[in-house]
Amino acid sequence: MKFTVTIDRDEDGAWVAECPAIPGCVSQGTTKTQALKNIREAIELCLEVRAERGLPLTVETKQVEIAI
């Protein structure tokens, strides 16, 4: 499976990665590479827990266009 993730730096300089399609699936790392490795592990664990609890594995995400 492929998932879109967001990655950004927080105010302390840590890299924070999040998977918008899986509620609450967030991880971090001291480097971007580490944060991406950690979010992969977090996604696997989140999917496992959601399956065990009978929850939908993901929620629908969409891109919307706005005029600025």
pLDDT at 8: 97
Each of the 68 residues of the chain gets a pLDDT tens digit; together they read 899 999 999 999 999 999 999 999 999 999 999 999 999 999 999 999 999 999 999 998 888 999 98
Residues near 50 by beta carbon (within 8 Å), at least 6 away in sequence = 22, 56, 57
pLDDT at 7: 97
Query: What domains are defined for the chain?
Result: 1-68 (3.30.160.250)
pLDDT at 62: 85
